[in-house]
Structure 1
Amino acid sequence: MFRHALSLAVPVSLIALLVACGNGDTVEAPVRPAMVVQPQPAGDAMETYPGEVRARFEPELAFRIGGKISKRLVDAGARVKKDQPLAELDPEDVKLQLEAARAQVAAAEANLKLVRTERDRYQTLLARQLISQSQYDNVENQYRAGEARVKQIKAEFNVANNQAGYSVLRASQDGVIARRLAEVGQVVSAGQTVFTLAADGEREVLISVPEHAFERFRIGQDVSVELWSQPGKRFPGRIRELSPAADAQSRTFAARVAFAGGAMKAELGQSARVAIKAEGEVPLSVPMSALSAEKDVPFVWVVDPKESKVVRTLVRIGRYGQERVSVLEGLKEGDWVVAAGVQMLRDGQKVKPVDRDNRTVKLIAGE
């Protein structure tokens, strides 16, 4: 009897549940996390080159005199201020030269005092007509030579004094020491690079262009830059400098790419990729995991940036790559496309956009 009643109760409860679900109330689907990406230029229409973030200005710092390095006050990677001491030479030689110049100044001044006294005495004798004019002229010439000698020796003393100050190498401006090329105890010549300073300010990307692609580059050409620390995010740039000669070892041409927006928060030494568009119209591309199809009609899920809802968007696709597929029509560069779990979505469903590291993405049109 109990089994019979239970068998009747189960269908009744199921019917009641179905009636409750079919009473006209809409059950909203749960918000699902969705990994989103933006369409990128098709890989087969882009040329990418690896690069490194460098400073816009990189002066090479060197002593103005030669000598033996006695102190090294900073190392590579140190942040320095303008006029901060970086290294010092052994000062003994320049001190001796300065003392010698000082002694020569004292001797020249003493000689000038002597010939001045002699000239004054001969001037008195000439006024009394006790000596000839030629004798006085000879003494006058000695006096003028003594004056010139004092000026010469004082100039040499000033040079020696300046050289004593040149024994300390100072930073030319604020920045970071990018390279150290000398060590304590090393004898360096005047003008030999000791440090390379990466000056504060603008940042650029240094790339190497192979010989076969050099003709496709020109100064002012628009490019896009992607930092490895910010994958999937491209920054506009342009080629600012192009070396006219190839490197003797790598046979590549150095090119510097400036960020179009001016100052860019990029750390020195960061890895980057520079992408250059091929000639003609460049199609967009999305990961193959973002592509779906219904009745042989391809579509992708585009997230509405205002409501965070997915919208089924029909697309016309081109050639397939190893990981991406070209999209000829249906998408814009600023769209956000769901790249994973597309089979679990339905039109109008609300999602939580995240990136590849599961971080929340703020959907802003045109970002």
Structure 2
Amino acid sequence: MLRHALSAVVPASLIVLLAACGNGEPPVQSIRPVMVVQPQPAGELVDSYPGEVRARLEPELAFRIGGKVAKRLVEVGQRVSKDQPLAELDPQDVRLQLEAIRAQVTAAQANLQLVRAERDRYRKLLERQLVSRSQYDNAENLFRAGEARLKQVQAEFDVANNQAGYAVLRASQNGVIARRMVEVGQVVAAGQTVFTLAADGEREVLINLPEQAFGRFRVGQPVAVELWSQPDQRFPGRIRELAPAADPQSRTFAARVAFSEGKVPAELGQSARVFIAHGGEVPLAVPLSALSAEQGRPYVWVVDPQASTLKRRLVRTGAYGEKQVPVLEGLQADDWVVAAGVQVLREGQQVRPVDRENRAVKLAAKE
């Protein structure tokens, strides 16, 4: 009997549901609230690039002669003063060369004394007409050759003496050792970089500019620099130097940014961010959250002011900013654009526009 009762109740409930759904009235759809904004002038949009504080002068220090590194006297990050010894080469070969040339100088001096005495003796004999003029001229030529030989070996001795001093690498000016490229026992060639010195004085920020936007930058262009240690303060600066060629690996152009103010609390190696304003006129900009894309084509949702329904609007954008994106084509200044939740919206959907404070927005109909 219970089975017969259930079979009678279930069809009756289904009939009630079908009657409710088939009354011809569409189901009630809730009007979705959406936060809307109007495009704003984008004249103050800027691009930001991370960078590192560097010294303006960074000479690469190298030995003027080749040899084996015998001593390394400083470490990376150590402060050094001008003419301070930084590293030394094995001086044995240089000393042997110096001693060999010193012996040549002694031999040349002895030879000069000999040919001078011979020249003086032939001069006296010529005055007495005991030798021919050609014999005297030969003695004179030997004397001049002895003088020239002595000058030559003395110059070679000076060079060898200087090279003995070149076996010690010294700091060219006051600063901090930024990089070290050799170790003790390594054989280096003349001119091979051993240390990079960050000289005391002005500080700059090294940044890398993208290849596709490199044409927008120029030497002397004003910028703003923000140090990570002082995020609430921006220091004025300018682009001092642009690399003429892109880096072969990163395909970016290195740029040096100098501070316009005299004293800036920037230390070597600090992280920084450089802000560069757009050079061209960008008419409008919308928040990044308002932009969506389909098949690589960016679009925004625009609210129809008369029906409060959504319309998809294709746009052409410029370079993305940190919080906004410039819109070059597709929007008007009086358009109302959905600023958040654009992924769950659909074409023709009726919405209730609100502002950031969740207050209702009255849309003015376009004439």
| TM-score, normalised with respect to structure 1 | 0.65
> 1:186 Cα deviation (Å)?
0.5
**CA deviation digits over 1:214-244, x for unaligned, max 9?**
0000000000000001112111000000011
- Matched with 2:76 is 76
**Partner SS, residue 219 of structure 1:** coil
CA distance in 1, matches of 2:322, 2:272: 22
What is the aligned partner in structure 1 of residue 141 from structure 2? 141
Residue in 2 aligned with 1:223? 223
Partner of 1:192: 192
Counterpart of 1:124 in structure 2 is 124
Distance 1:69 1:322 in 2: 50
Paired residue type of 1:95:
R
TM-aligned CA deviation for residue 265 of structure 1 = 2.2
Tell me which residue corresponds to 1:86.
Answer: 86
Q: 2:363 corresponds to which residue? A: none
Counterpart of 1:252 in structure 2 is: 252
Question: Structure 2: how far apart are the matches of 1:325 and 1:96?
Answer: 70
Paired amino acid for 2:187: V
**1:269: which partner in 2?**
269
Relative to structure 1, is the Cα distance of residues 281 and 223 closer, same or farther in structure 2, using a 3 angstrom cutoff? farther
Give the Cα–Cα distance (whole angstroms) in 1 for the partners of residues 324 and 216 of structure 2: 25
Counterpart of 1:95 in structure 2 is 95
Counterpart of 1:265 in 2: which secondary structure?
coil
Separation (CA, whole Å) in 2 of partners of 1:116 and 1:237: 71
Q: 2:258 is matched by which residue type in structure 1?
A: A
Q: Residue 250 of structure 1: SS of its match in structure 2?
A: coil
| Match in the other structure for 1:206 | 206
Give distance in 2, aligned partners of 1:179 and 1:102: 38
Specify the code of the residue in structure 1 equivalent to 2:190: A
Distance in 2 (CA, whole Å) between partners of 1:324 and 1:218 is: 24
Structure number, greater radius of gyration: 2
Letter in 1 for 2:116: R
> Counterpart of 1:334?
none
Map 1:1-367; keep pairs closer than 5 Å.
Answer: 45-278=45-278, 279-280=280-281
Identity %: 73
Q: Is the 8 A contact 1:203 1:263 kept in 2?
A: no
How many residue pairs end up in the alignment? 254
Gaps of 5+ in 2: 1-40, 287-320, 327-332, 334-356, 358-367
Query: Distance in 2 between the 1:154 and 1:237 partners?
Result: 54
Whether contact under 8 Å (2:53, 2:203) holds in the other structure is yes
Q: For 1:57-90, what per-residue CA distance to the aligned partner results, in whole angstroms no more than 9, with x for missing partners?
A: 0000000000000000001100000000000000
**Secondary structure in structure 2 of the residue aligned to 1:232:** strand
Structure 1 residue 258: deviation in Å?
A: 0.3
Supply the AA of the counterpart residue of 2:219: I
Per-residue deviation at 1:323? 6.9
Q: Is the 8 A contact 1:202 1:264 kept in 2?
A: no
CA 1:212–1:136 in 2, change beyond 3 Å: closer, same or farther? Answer: same
The structural deviation recorded for 1:165 is 0.2
Residue 245 of structure 2 aligns to a residue in which SS?
Answer: coil
Query: How well do the aligned residues superpose, as a CA RMSD in angstroms?
Result: 2.7
Cα 1:269–1:43, aligned 2, differ >3 Å: closer, same or farther? farther
Q: CA offset at residue 280 of structure 1?
A: 3.7
TM-superposed deviation, 1:263: 3.8
- Going from structure 1 to structure 2, the CA distance change for 1:282 and 1:54 (only over 3 Å counts) comes to farther
Q: Is the 8 A contact 2:43 2:283 kept in 1?
A: no
The TM-score normalised by the length of structure 2 is 0.65
How far apart, in 2, do the equivalents of 1:325 and 1:216 lie? Answer: 17
Q: Distance in 2 between matches of 1:55 and 1:325?
A: 34
Q: Secondary structure at the match of 2:120?
A: helix
Q: Within 1, Cα distance between the matches of 2:126 and 2:284? A: 102
Supply the AA of the counterpart residue of 2:129.
Q
Is the CA contact (8 Å cut-off) linking 1:122 and 1:139 kept in structure 2? yes
In 1: Cα distance, 2:325 partner to 2:178 partner = 41
Unaligned runs of 5+ in 1: 1-40, 286-320, 329-342, 344-367
CA 1:323–1:92: 2 relative to 1, 3 Å? same
Distance in 2 of aligned mates of 1:131 and 1:142: 16
